[in-house]
Chain A
Amino acid sequence: NAGVTQTPKFRVLKTGQSMTLLCAQDMNHEYMYWYRQDPGMGLRLIHYSVGEGTTAKGEVPDGYNVSRLKKQNFLLGLESAAPSQTSVYFCASRPRTGQLNYGYTFGSGTRLTVV
C-alpha cells in the first residue's frame, strides 16, 4: 500500500516553462488536495477536488491549473512558471465520510525551483 505518491520529487524550471506535477493515491479516497509550503508560511491550499471530474480553487490558485480525470490521480499544472512559484508542493487525500472527521494522508512532496 503506497498511500500518496508524488512525481517528480525535484525539478528545476526556467521562467516561462510549463510542467505538470502528478499525485496518485491507491486508497480509493474521494478528496484530494494540492498545497504549497514556503518558509515561515505554513501550508497554503492551491486547488482541491471532492471527486472525479470536479475541482475547486483554494487560497492561492493563480498561475496553477488542475485536473482530476481519474479518481486516483490529481494533476497540478504550471502553464508559465515564475520564480514566485518556487516552493515545496504537497498532495494530500482523504476519504469521504459522513462526519468529515478524517485526517489527511500526505505525499512526500515535490521541491520545485524556478530560475
Chain B
Amino acid sequence: SQQGEEDPQALSIQEGENATMNCSYKTSINNLQWYRQNSGRGLVHLILIRSNEREKHSGRLRVTLDTSKKSSSLLITASRAADTASYFCATDAWRGAQKLVFGQGTRLTINP
C-alpha cells in the first residue's frame, strides 16, 4: 500500500516562480525523503529530513516536516526549466525493515 500521498498530482508554473509540493503519510516515521525523476530516468535523492527535524534547506530546496499532521512539503524557489521532473516523497517507517515507501509523485512542469 502507498504510504505517501502527494498533492497536487501535477503542477505547471512559470520559470522563476516558486513551486510547492505536499506529501501526507499514515504511520510514524524515522525520516522522510524527497526524490526527483526526470523523464525516462532513475530517481535522484534530493533531501532527507529526520523525524525530529522541522525544516531543512539544500540550495533552492526547502523541506518542512510536521509529524503531528503527518505531512511534509517541498518548496523549490526561483524555478528553472531544468526543474521540470516528477518529484516523489518517500517514508522510512519507524521500526520498519529499512525500506522506503513512495508516494505517487507530483509532475512539475516549468514553462519558459
Contacts and interface: CB of A to CB of B under 8 A. Distances in A.
Contact of B43 (A50, A59, A102, A106): A106
Nearest to A103: B45
Interface residues on B, range: 20 to 34
B2 interface: yes
A27 interface: no
Interface string A6-44: 000000000000000000000000010101000011111
A44 B90 CA distance: 11
Interface string B13-57: 000000000000000001101010000111111001010000000
A45 interface: yes
A31 B99 CA distance: 9
Nearest to B47: A103
B98 A101 contact: no
Main secondary structure of the interface of B (DSSP, over half): strand
A100 B92 contact: yes
Given A48-B99, A59-B1, A104 B45 contact: yes
Contacts of A4: 42
Contacts of B43: 43, 90, 92, 104, 106
Contacts of B44: 106
B61 interface: no
B33 A103 contact: yes
Nearest to A41: B104
A70 B75 CA distance: 40
Contacts of A106: 35, 42-45
Interface string A38-60: 00111111001010000010110
Interface of B: 1-2, 30-31, 33, 35, 40-45, 48, 50, 88, 90, 92, 97-105
26 contacts: A4-B42, A40-B104, A42-B88, A42-B102, A43-B88, A43-B90, A45-B99, A45-B100, A45-B101, A48-B99, A50-B98, A56-B97, A58-B99, A90-B42, A99-B30, A100-B31, A101-B30, A101-B48, A101-B50, A103-B33, A103-B48, A104-B100, A106-B35, A108-B41, A108-B42, A109-B41
